[in-house]
């Protein structure tokens, strides 16, 4: 009998020496990136090539495996977002049986294999979606105002505390909006919507002197 882990998981980035392009590479080239200046009240930064994994299954089995492998607890409540002590690995609630794990680039495949080993015969699914989405960071005093112009979701601190993340409408696309720290917001957008969202953010952020750290 073949090893179930070996047959169901494959490395989407087997060789990191192969040149890769961020989903915004074309946007930087075509639209350009305004620099950060003294007047910038919001700074945009893409965190490209991170490892994104979708976990599906029962909360109890996934929680046990995740604690064992990553030392992270599964957010049980809707909208929950947990970070590890370094703040670089995160897990977010997406729906009652679905979670999004984001880890530094290159870690996703090893993590997927360790999770599969830890989960054993449990009923679950793990999908590596790293190539399908990208993460855009917004930082600065006007970041919340910029979001207020872009999404119908209430981003007031009373409704959107640190450690929350929701999937909602962003401009005319959809995005996951997350708030990992007090002054930083994250958008997880589809690769195919990345250029649209980037240009929307530049347009909407013009009045705040938006700058891009490429």
Partner 1 sequence: MFHIYCPYCEELREEEEFHPKGQAHIARPVDPEACSDEEWGDYLFFRDNPRGIHHELWVHAVGCRKFFNITRNTVSYEILETYRMGEQPRFTAGHPEGKPAEQVAAEAEAVSRQEGVKA
CA-based diameter of the chain, in Å?
A: 63
CB 78, min distance to partner 1, A: 5
CB 48, min distance to partner 1, A: 24
Query: Between residue 29 and residue 48, which ones bind partner 1 under the rule CB under 8 A?
Result: none
Contact between 176 and 100 under an 8 Å Cβ cutoff? The reply is yes
Bridge-based pairing state of the strands 124-128 and 98-103: unpaired
Q: Which residue's CB is nearer to partner 1, number 29 or number 77? A: 77
Q: Which residue's CB is nearer to partner 1, number 202 or number 204? A: 204
Q: Which residue's CB is nearer to partner 1, number 34 or number 80? A: 80
Which one of residues 167, 177, 193, 204 is an interface residue with partner 1 (CB under 8 A)? 167
Which one of residues 4, 35, 58, 120 is an interface residue with partner 1 (CB under 8 A)? 58
Query: Between residue 68 and residue 107, which ones bind partner 1 under the rule CB under 8 A?
Result: 77-79, 94-98
Q: Which two tokens stand for residue 151?
A: 């999404």
Region of 18-26, 30-38, 165-173, 185-193 interacting with partner 1 (CB under 8 A): 165-173
Binding mask 119-158 for partner 1 (x = CB under 8 A): ---------------------------------xx-----
Q: Which two tokens stand for residue 196?
A: 């649209």
Which one of residues 88, 110, 169, 207 is an interface residue with partner 1 (CB under 8 A)? 169
CB 209, min distance to partner 1, A: 29
Q: Could you tell me how far CA 70 lies from the centroid of its own chain? A: 17
Q: Which residue's CB is nearer to partner 1, number 63 or number 98? A: 98
Which of 81-87's residues contact partners 24+ apart within 8 Å by CB, and which partners?
Answer: 81/163, 81/164, 81/165, 81/178, 81/179, 81/180, 82/163, 83/163, 83/180, 87/180, 87/181
Per CB under 8 A, residues contacting partner 1 are 58, 77-79, 94-98, 152-153, 166-169, 174
């Amino acid at each position: 009998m073949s090893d179930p882990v070996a047959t169901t998981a494959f490395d989407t980035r087997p060789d990191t020496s192969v040149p890769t392009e961020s989903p915004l590479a074309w946007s930087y080239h075509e639209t350009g990136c305004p620099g950060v200046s003294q007047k910038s009240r919001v700074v945009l930064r893409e965190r490209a090539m991170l490892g994104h994994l979708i976990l599906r299954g029962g909360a109890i089995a996934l929680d046990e495996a995740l604690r064992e492998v990553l030392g992270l607890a599964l957010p049980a409540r809707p909208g929950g977002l947990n970070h590890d002590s370094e703040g670089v690995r995160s897990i977010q609630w997406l729906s009652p049986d679905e979670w999004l794990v984001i880890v530094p680039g290159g870690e996703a495949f090893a993590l997927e294999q360790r999770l599969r080993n830890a989960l054993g015969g449990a009923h679950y699914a793990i999908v590596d979606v790293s190539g399908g989405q990208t993460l855009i960071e917004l930082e600065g005093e006007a970041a919340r105002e910029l979001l207020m112009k872009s999404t119908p979701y209430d981003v007031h601190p009373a409704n959107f505390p640190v450690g929350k993340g929701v999937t909602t409408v962003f401009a005319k696309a959809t995005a996951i909006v997350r708030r990992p720290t007090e002054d930083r917001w994250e958008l997880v957008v589809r690769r195919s919507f990345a250029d649209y969202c980037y240009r929307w953010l530049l347009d909407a952020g013009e009045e705040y002197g938006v700058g891009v750290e490429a």
